[in-house]
Chains A and B, each alone.
Chain A
Amino acid sequence: MTAAAPLAIVGYYEPWWIQIIKAIVIFAVGLQLVPVVLIAERKLLGRFQGRYGPNRVGPYGALQPLADILKLLTKEQFRPTTSVGFLFALAPTISILTAVAAFAIIPFGDTQDIFGTKVGLYGVDVSIGPLYLFAFGAVAFYGIMLGGWSSGSKYSFLGAMRGAAQLISYEVSQGLALVGVIFTAQTLSLTGIVTAQKGMWYFIPQFFGFLVFLVAGFAETNRAPFDLTEADAELVGGYNTEFGGGRFASYYFAEYLNVLVVSGIVTTVFLGGWLLPFGIHPPGWVDPIVVLLKMSLITFLFIWVRATLPRLRYDQLMSFGWKVLLPLATLNTLVTAIVVVATH
């Protein structure tokens, strides 16, 4: 193995035009998922609360996200006089960019033969899969931090600071939760992790890692019950208080894309990606459907939890992250390491 392999050793070569088509297809499909999640969330939240949710725009309210986005995009680009203009414009871009970049590594299927060319059904199979994810997860918080700080508003600033503290508290646990999987799979490539789950999906042997990753995933995406960066009750809107129109839409979009990314990562790492249980081997074109179904399960869980759990208090968030999740993740890693060493 060479000293610095930028990509995982996949054993085939993809021509440049395949890579471009792949990027376009994945993001064309992936970005269409965001409005679907948006409407699904609003409809499901309605059902969870004994009401219908939006049902006026289009058949069964299906065009509601379109109406929302059109409304946001046609609004005035307002900027407070106290804000730092350059960063104020840049921050939502960072958020959306990192979310899209993280989406690139989710594998939607095994390598396929399409028109005689081998194509991996993923944006890119990096040899440092989880590290790539965490790198972009960390940069994503700059979007929130800079957005909150550059607004020049107390509430935004408080939300941003909470976001920063939350990132530090939960990214450690999230990383450690994945370390156990990496030990077991003995690879950092996400496709490698999926193929290593042929015998058993990792959420069974790595159950604590799964739980920790899921909980930390709620925190990483700033979703209820960890949506302290937004905390509409006490911080108006948190980091995005001063944002409106297209910039707010960018944040909104990034939030839902992040939900999809975390769902995709959980699917890939713990739920066996495109694999099906009981030795069922469907043809290759079914793989993306399997992945999307598993992702929608996790997204449903996200929405379900949002409808159920109240927001944590800030000190509860901190003590939960450091006193419960981190020891649990560490213990999980340690035990996995011992087991892996003992059985090899």
Chain B
Amino acid sequence: MSETPANTPPENGTPVSPAPVSPAPESGASADALVPSLNVTAWSPGEDVIQVTRHPKPGPTRSTWRAFAETARGLKTTFARIAEGPSTIQYPEEKVPVYPRFRGRHKLHRFEDSGLEKCVGCSLCAAACPADCIRVVAAENTPENRVSAGERYAAVYEINLSRCIFCGYCEIACPFDAITMGHDYELSDYDRHDLIFTKEMLLAEPLERTPLRNEGE
């Protein structure tokens, strides 16, 4: 087998580089057929030619030995996988623990002492949301009906989780740490309407469905 394919016709006149690996012979030929008068190849490899060094082929004994040895090595490699055991995580039963900063489903918070909502209905989260999935309608706190610690509170607080991209900007924008990203990632549902989470759902203590990764794990 020749290692220098005659991709350039000899009447071309241009010096052929020592080992033009490409272009393939047929591409040069077709280009010549298309523009016969110009008599140039479609693309000259120029300086991009990579010199391929081919070592002498091993003899029959050596290649037989190599075939056997390499096959045995392959068999050993696959058998080692059996010894190693499967690395599959059986998902619904086993779960990959998440990192503390994992951004899952949102949570709304209350003050632990007074039980009042931290959210004051300022709508900064809605303004920061790139997916435009948060809707806040604020209302005034009255002495009879005090919901939040501030002047106003969120009468409606909805997150459309079918639109949410879990970027966490709402968490950053919030001046009172009223909204944070939780760890729950199992959010599939049968109906899109069920993915609009209301304030009550976000305030409720979420099901601990997702294991948290321990320190150093």
Note all chain B residues with C-beta closer than 8 A to A47: 81-82, 86
Binary per-residue interface labels of chain A (51-63) against chain B in the complex, 1 for a CB within 8 Å, 0 otherwise:
1100000000000
Q: Which residues of B contact A46 (CB under 8 A)?
A: 86
* Residues of chain B contacted by A51 (CB below 8 angstroms): 86-88
How many residues of chain A get a CB closer than 8 Å to chain B's CBs? Answer: 13
Q: State whether A308 touches B77 (Cβ < 8 A).
A: yes
- Whether A50 pairs with B75 at a CB distance below 8 angstroms is no
A48: CB under 8 A from chain B?
yes
* Bound Cα distance A305, B90 (Å): 27
In the complex, chain A residues whose CB is within 8 Å of the CB of B97: none
Question: Which of A49, A52, A305, A309 lies in contact with B81, CB distance below 8 A?
Answer: A49
Complex CA–CA separation, A307 to B81 (angstroms): 11
Do B79 and A50 touch across chains, with their CB atoms under 8 A apart? no
Interface digits, B84-109 against A, CB 8 Å rule (1 contact, 0 not)?
A: 11111010000000000000000000
Bitwise interface map of B from 53 to 97 toward A, beta carbon under 8 Å scored 1, else 0? 000000000000000000100110111011011111010000000
Looking across the interface, which residue of chain B has its beta carbon closest to that of A225? B71
The answer to the question of A304 belonging to the interface, with a C-beta cut-off of 8 Å to chain B, is yes
The answer for the CA separation of A343 and B71 in the assembled complex, in Å, is 36
Q: From residue B88, how far is it (CB to closest CB) to chain A in Å?
A: 5
List the A side residues contacting B90 at CB < 8 Å. Answer: 52
Interface of B is mostly: helix
Q: In the assembled complex, which residues on chain B have CB atoms less than 8 Å from the CB atom of A48?
A: 78-79, 81-82
Residues of A within 8 A of B82 (CB): 44, 47-48
Nearest Cβ in chain B — how far from A60, in angstroms? 13
Interface size, chain B (Cβ < 8 Å) = 14
Contact among B74, B84, B87, B88 for A309, CB-based, below 8 A? B74
- Chain A residue nearest to B73 (CB atoms) is A308
In angstroms, how far is the closest chain A Cβ from the Cβ of B84?
Answer: 7
Set B75, B85, B86, B88: member contacting A308, Cβ < 8 A = B75
Q: Give the interface SS of chain A, mostly helix, strand, loop or mixed.
A: helix
* Chain B nearest CB, measured from A322 CB (Å): 16
A305 touching B86, Cβ below 8 Å: no
Q: Mark A209-232, 1 if CB is under 8 A from B, else 0.
A: 000000000000000000000000
Query: Would you give the shortest CB distance from B123 to chain A, in whole angstroms?
Result: 48
* Interchain CB contact under 8 A, B74 and A50: no
Chain B residues with CB below 8 A from A307, complex form:
78
Closest beta carbon of chain A to B59's beta carbon, Å: 14
The residue on B at minimum CB distance from A55 is B90
**Chain B residues closer than 8 Å to A308, beta-carbon distance:** 71, 74-75, 77-78
Within 8 Å CB of B71, what residues of A? 308-309
Contact residues, A285-344 vs B (CB, 8 A)? 304-305, 307-309
Interface residues of A in 97-135 (CB under 8 A from B): none
Q: Please, which residues of chain B bring their CB within 8 A of the CB of A44?
A: 82
B85: chain A residues at CB < 8 Å are 50
CB-CB under 8 A from B77, the residues of chain A are 308
Partner of B88, one of A52, A304, A305: A52
Distance in angstroms between the alpha carbons of A51 and B86 in the assembled complex:
4
Interfacial chain B residues near A304, Cβ < 8 Å: 75, 78-79
> How far is A304 from B81 in the complex, measured between Cα atoms in Å?
11
CB-nearest residue of chain B to A310: B74
**Across-interface contacts of A50 in B (CB, < 8 A):** 81, 84-88
Tell me the complex Cα distance, A44–B84, Å: 13
Contact pattern, A 16-47, Cβ under 8 Å of B = 1, otherwise 0: 00000000000000000000000000001011
* Residues 15-66 of B contacting A (Cβ, < 8 Å): none
- With a CB–CB cut-off of 8 A, which chain A residues contact B79? 48, 304
Determine which residue in B78, B87, B88 has the highest number of CB atoms from chain A within 10 A of its CB, and name it.
Answer: B78
How far apart sit A307 and B74, CA to CA, in the bound complex (Å)? Answer: 9
Say whether B75 contacts A305, CB under 8 Å: yes
A307 CA to B75 CA, complexed, in Å:
8
Minimal beta-carbon separation of A76 from chain B (angstroms): 30
CA distance A309 to B76 in the complex (A): 11
| Closest chain A CB from B102 CB (angstroms) | 25
| CA–CA, A303 and B82, complex, Å | 13
Give residues 252-310 of A contacting B (CB, 8 Å).
304-305, 307-309
Nearest residue (CB) in B for A305 is B75
A50–B89 Cα distance when bound, in Å, is 11
Return B217 CB to nearest CB of chain A, in Å: 21
Q: How far is the CA of A50 from the CA of B84 in the complex (A)?
A: 8
Question: Within the complex, what minimum Cβ distance (angstroms) separates A302 from chain B?
Answer: 12
In the complex, besides A50-B87, A52-B90, A307-B78, 12 extra interface pairs with C-beta distance below 8 angstroms are A44-B82, A48-B78, A48-B79, A50-B81, A50-B88, A51-B86, A51-B87, A51-B88, A305-B75, A308-B71, A308-B74, A309-B71
User: Can you list 28 pairs linking A and B with CB atoms under 8 Å apart?
Assistant: A44-B82, A46-B86, A47-B81, A47-B82, A47-B86, A48-B78, A48-B81, A49-B81, A50-B81, A50-B84, A50-B85, A50-B86, A50-B87, A50-B88, A51-B86, A51-B87, A51-B88, A52-B86, A52-B88, A304-B75, A304-B79, A305-B75, A308-B71, A308-B74, A308-B75, A308-B77, A308-B78, A309-B71
8 tightest Cβ-Cβ pairs between the two chains A and B: A308-B74, A308-B78, A48-B78, A51-B88, A47-B82, A307-B78, A52-B86, A50-B81
